[in-house]
Amino acid sequence: MDSVISLKNVNKIYGTQVKTQVLTDVCLEVERESFNSIIGASGSGKSTLLNIIGTLDRPTSGEVVINGVRTASLNKDELAALRNQTIGFVFQFHYLLPEFTALENVLMPARIKDGRVSAEVRERAEHLMSLMGIEKVKNNMAAKMSGGQQQRTSIARALINSPQIILADEPTGNLDSESTEAVYDIMRDINETLKTTFLIITHDRKITQKADRIVEIKDGRINLDIPASQAED
């Protein structure tokens, strides 16, 4: 398998006095260009796992390799650069900057990466926003858009630097079912056209049913790992 994410025996223990083991010996290979969902009960360790994959958090032990790079040897600045260039994040709450337009929000990671925004990048942002169906509201203040529009903006923002990987933590958890379906279709479309690898934590059946693979986390371990076509209702 051509893995874009590789975890070997990842353990995560929180606390020094009272120790809580949240992840236990997690091994996971995620194939490049695949579309994957992570499911599991609340508190099972899904967000912890995604944050470790996203290098927002370090494991207590074990190895995390992202796009061929062993993250343990990287310092803070190198990790930030890896994140900015390789990974796009989509969270349940979008964290858009409310005082900026939708377009400026989408451009922000490119501004951070290059220090400036070229005409080419601006064109790419507008193209992504039209893929998301939000080109008409690109000059609206982020705070003045609907929840669905804001979430689509945050997906365009996650894609602006052409990351290999999108990590999404309950990206539709805050949306009505119509917007959920639209956002899902867009993500699947991006996966197919731009070849972006997706790892999506979700409770939503619409997403899990059409994913290539479902990984279930239970009490900090991988409990089930199956092609989505084998999932039972």
Interface residues toward ligand ADP, by CB under 6 A: 14-15, 20, 22, 40, 42-48
44 binds, among Mg ion, ligand ADP, none (CB under 5 to 8 A by kind): ligand ADP
Pairing of strands 87-91, 165-169: parallel
String of contacts with Mg ion for each residue 43-72, x by CB under 5 A: ----x-------------------------
Pairwise CA distance, residues 50 & 201, whole Å: 8
Pairwise CA distance, residues 57 & 72, whole Å: 11
Pairing of strands 221-227, 213-218: antiparallel
User: With respect to ligand ADP, which residue has the nearer C-beta, 149 or 202?
Assistant: 202
* Paired tokens of 46: 């899904």
Q: Which residues are CB-neighbours of 126 under 8 A, at least 6 positions away? A: 103, 135, 138
Helix, strand, coil shares, percent, the chain, to 5: 40, 30, 30
164 binds, among Mg ion, ligand ADP, none (CB under 5 to 8 A by kind): none
User: With respect to ligand ADP, which residue has the nearer C-beta, 79 or 108?
Assistant: 79
Q: Which residues are CB-neighbours of 124 under 8 A, at least 6 positions away? A: 160
User: With respect to ligand ADP, which residue has the nearer C-beta, 104 or 170?
Assistant: 170
98 binds, among ligand ADP, Mg ion, none (CB under 5 to 8 A by kind): none
Question: What residue is closest to Mg ion based on CB?
Answer: 47
User: With respect to ligand ADP, which residue has the nearer C-beta, 46 or 94?
Assistant: 46
42 binds, among Mg ion, ligand ADP, none (CB under 5 to 8 A by kind): ligand ADP
Residue 64, helix vs strand vs coil: strand
Minimum distance between the CB of residue 15 and ligand ADP, rounded to whole angstroms? 6
